[in-house]
Structures are given as C-alpha cells and as structure tokens.
Homo-oligomer: A and B are copies of this chain.
Amino acid sequence: VSSGVTAHVRRITLLTDFGTADGYVGAMKGVIAAILPDAIIDDISHDIAPGDVTAAAWCLASYWSLYPPGTVHVCVVDPGVGTERRALAATTSERTFVAPDNGLLSVMLGAPDRRVVSVTEPRYMRPELSMTFHGRDVFAPVAAHIAAGLSIDRLGPGIDDAVVLRDGAAEADGVGGTRGIVVHVDRFGNLITDVHGAAAVAAHAVHVFVGEAGPFRVVGTYAQADAEEVVALIGSTGALEVAVRDGSAARRLGAGRGTAVRVTRDDSGRGTRTPERPT
C-alpha cells in the first residue's frame, strides 16, 4: 500500500435516517474516531425520511462513485434492526460499502467486480451489541476497520443473494415512446424519472407527460424555459427530469415518487391539450 493510497482509505462517508439531534450519528463518529483517530468523516445526509430505504439508495447512487478509490461508504437506514436481516460489507471499483441487507446497496450489487460478505465476525463489532443500534455497534466499527486496511474477507462469508430493490427502469411503450415513473423528488421539487439514455436524449422530437398533465417540451437548459413553464430536461444524473424554473414541479403537478411518466415521440398525446372549441 503506497502512502498515496493510505491518504485515500481514511475517508468515511455517512448516510443515515437518524437526524442529528438524538446523538446517534455522534455515537457512530465517536466509535470510528476511537478506532481510526485520523479518519476524515464526511456527512452525506442524516435527513433521509425514517426508514426510507429507496430514497437512501437513490441518494447513495448520486455520490458513491465520485469519491476516490479507497473510500468507505457507510449507509444505515435500517428498519429491520433487531431482526435476522444480515449486515453487509461489499466492494466494487475499489470503494467499500457497509449497510444492512435491505436493498440500500442495489446500485453496486449488479457490478461484475462486486464482492459481498455477510458480516458475522464479532471481533470487529462492539463487544455488547444492542438490539436497536447497529449503526454504532456494527456498521461504524466495521467501517473504521476497513478504512484502516482490513479486507472485507475477514468479516464473514461471501454471499451472492443480497437484497436488491426492484428495478424501476422505464420501458418502451411499443409505439415509439417510453413509459416510466418518477423515482425521486428533490428539495427543489424537481421530478426525477427513470427515463434514461436514448429514450430521453432525442429531446427535439419528444413530449413528456406526468400523470395526466402535459405534454411538456424538452429543453436543453433552464435558460430556454419561459417563466413558470413546466419543462423536461436531462438532469445531472443523466435521467429525464421535469422542472419548473424557480418553482416546484412536484407541487405544481401534484406529482411524487411513483407518478407515471410518458415520453412520446410524436404528437399523439397532444389531444389532451386541444383547446376547447364551440361545436
């Protein structure tokens, strides 16, 4: 291990649904610091809605690979604590993850080079495990030991059946368009969809519907949107997003996670906006 790599491996990120006011995150940081005094701990978020594994998995997907090789990513949204759910340690692309086995790590579980173990070795946990706080008693100490150089193979047996969240990938609709859903609503009220790649990229030729609302045009940048216009655009993750300049598309359209999204390649959907005419 070169000294350059050493600098890398001492950075640990934390993603939880613990809030901060109860001291749970402070306890995790203390455990890490006691094992690895010079660890740099980056808070990602502690504001995931309680128990919202799907939102945490989405959040994790947005940052994990931007960190340098050697980083240890700790993710604890753990509604199953105190049940038989396993604790996982996993690696891909030289980043390591520790998390409960509930789908949080879905983003990396499909990687060809992944290695996943079920953490069972008590020597890397706190001596007395609580029934309700494995963030402090299991995930924090395990992460610190990994950041200090421990191979995940020392933590327990390899497994290949970790829980993966259902893939919400959008599908072709058979008439040249795509059907998807809203997978995340961000702080700004932007509706982030599961429509990626070619289906989203042919921007000039498509219309976008959210639930019954639309069609909305696809713009290249916010600058092309009129004031308060609902538009679709390719967002920072490469997915199609629906947004309102300086406003909330979620509120404007009454949409949220799971709302249906349609991308049409012709104007077959325009009928929904045909102005009423006297007959």
Binds B, one of A77-85, A98-106, A151-159, A169-177: A77-85
Q: How far is the CA of A19 from the CA of B49 in the complex (A)?
A: 13
- Residues from 232 to 261 in A contacting B, C-beta threshold 8 Å: 233-236, 241, 243, 246
Q: Is A198 an interface residue (CB 8 A)?
A: no
Q: Which residues of B contact A18 (CB under 8 A)?
A: 187
Question: Is the Cβ of A19 less than 8 Å from the Cβ of B68?
Answer: no
Q: How far is the CA of A130 from the CA of B131 in the complex (A)?
A: 44
Q: How far is the CA of A222 from the CA of B27 in the complex (A)?
A: 21
Binds B, one of A38-46, A116-124, A266-274: A38-46
- Residues from 1 to 56 in A contacting B, C-beta threshold 8 Å: 4, 7-8, 11, 13, 15, 17-27, 29-31, 33-34, 37-38, 40-51, 55
Given contact pairs A19-B187, A130-B235, a sample of 12 additional A-B residue pairs in the complex whose CB atoms are under 8 Å apart: A21-B55, A24-B62, A26-B42, A26-B59, A26-B62, A26-B66, A30-B64, A33-B67, A34-B66, A79-B246, A82-B223, A137-B236
The 7 tightest CB contacts between A and B, nearest first, are A30-B66, A26-B63, A23-B62, A133-B236, A82-B222, A82-B221, A20-B45
A-B contact pairs, 15 of them (CB 8 A): A4-B37, A19-B45, A19-B187, A21-B47, A22-B62, A26-B45, A29-B42, A30-B63, A30-B65, A33-B67, A34-B68, A37-B68, A82-B221, A84-B223, A131-B233
- By a beta-carbon cutoff of 8 Å, the part of chain A in contact with chain B is 4, 7-8, 11, 13, 15, 17-27, 29-31, 33-34, 37-38, 40-51, 55, 58-68, 71, 79-84, 130-133, 136-137, 184, 186-188, 220-223, 233-236, 241, 243, 246
